[in-house]
Amino acid sequence: MTTKFAALAVFFLCFMPATKIEHTQALFTLTKKPKQESTSLVNHINRNSAVPKLANADHKHSINTIELTSHTEKKAKPEPAEHHPPKKVYSQADRELLSRLVYAEAKGESYKGKVAVASVVLNRTEKHGFPDTIRGVIYQRNAFEPVSNGSINQKPDKDSVAAAKEAMENQGRETKALYFYNPKTASDHWIRSRKIIERIGRHVFAM
């Protein structure tokens, strides 16, 4: 049995590298030495077979981790373009009528106050429940006092014409209000119940 084992060991030794042969020989020796000596030999083998540390030259060829930035991980989503409704085209008759209303309603008010009055008319054309034209809004029943007292027919001044033009041409209007009134002269209790959002001159503007 010993002879067969020795022959088999010699066969494996022929195909092993030199370092493995040394380790194998050491293991053969363990079987013949006392337990204490065997333990020392195993510790010696483990120390000599430790994985060698990389030299400085080897670090140059080591693999570096790559940190992905947010731009490489995923492309930033483009911000949605701000939506603007198509600009309305108004007729010369619309411009003249709106200018006359501004003059009749905001005579003596500041230029900003005149633009705000024109803005209210335009806001109504875009709001459900009101006519969708300037003429329809202005001549809606009981909508504006200048229509009933005839002052709508007076010739507007330059500021009123300019204010109406500015309100028509600018996307951002002076106010978002749908109503305006003078709190000192208004007698309609319903109009006073509307939510006031701002005051310009003698007028309050409401929703």
List residues bridging with 181 in a β-sheet. 204
Reported as a single tens digit per residue, the pLDDT across 97-108 is: 999 999 999 999
Contacts of 155 (CB under 8 A, 6+ apart): 100, 103
Tell me which of 88 and 104 has the higher pLDDT: 104
Phi and psi (nearest 5°) for 175? Answer: -150, 160
Three-class secondary structure of residue 62 per DSSP: coil
Q: What is the pLDDT of residue 41?
A: 46
What is the spatial distance between Cα 197 and Cα 21, in angstroms, rounded to a whole number? 95
Q: Is the pLDDT of residue 179 over 80?
A: yes
Q: What is the pLDDT of residue 48?
A: 53
Tell me which of 127 and 6 has the higher pLDDT: 127
Q: Is the pLDDT of residue 63 over 60?
A: no
Which among 91, 92, 102, 93 has a CA at the least distance from the CA of 160? 102
CATH number of 92-175: 1.10.10.2520
61: its two tokens:
């060829």
196 half-sphere exposure, CB direction, 13 A CA radius: 11
